[in-house]
């Protein structure tokens, strides 16, 4: 298995998996860090660098609360960047 900052990831992930999406964000954060990556209806826009850093910070906050890979997590919030960050960090 490959090792990432978010934990071990199988070498061949299905393209529809969240792990693949997270790795894709990290890939673009390294190659085009200032390119726009995500935005919301309020006009807030994150670059790939900012999005990757926010996902890592959210994952660390979840880990600090005892949640790790394979744990179940309920995310209840409106469609927003915060919702996307929570999903990718989980």
Q: Supply the DSSP string of 25-55, one letter for each residue.
A: HHHHHHH-TTSEEEE-TT--EEEHHHHHHHH
Rg (CA), the chain: 13
pTM of the model: 0.69
pLDDT in tens, 8-44: 444 444 555 555 566 788 888 888 999 999 888 888 8
CA 30-36-41 angle, 5° bins: 140
What value does the mean pLDDT take over residues 49-74?
89
CB-based burial label for 89 (10 Å; 0-12, 13-18, 19+): buried
For residues 39 and 65, give the distance between their C-alpha atoms in angstroms, rounded to a whole number: 27
């Amino acid at each position: 298995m490959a090792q990432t900052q978010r934990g071990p990831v199988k070498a061949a992930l299905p393209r529809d998996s969240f792990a693949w999406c997270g790795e894709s964000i990290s890939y673009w954060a390294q190659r085009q860090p200032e390119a726009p990556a995500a935005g919301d209806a309020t006009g807030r826009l994150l670059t790939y660098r900012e999005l990757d850093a926010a996902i890592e910070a959210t994952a660390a906050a979840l880990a600090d609360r005892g949640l790790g890979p394979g744990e179940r997590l309920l995310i209840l919030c409106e469609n927003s960047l915060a919702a996307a960050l929570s999903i990718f960090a989980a």
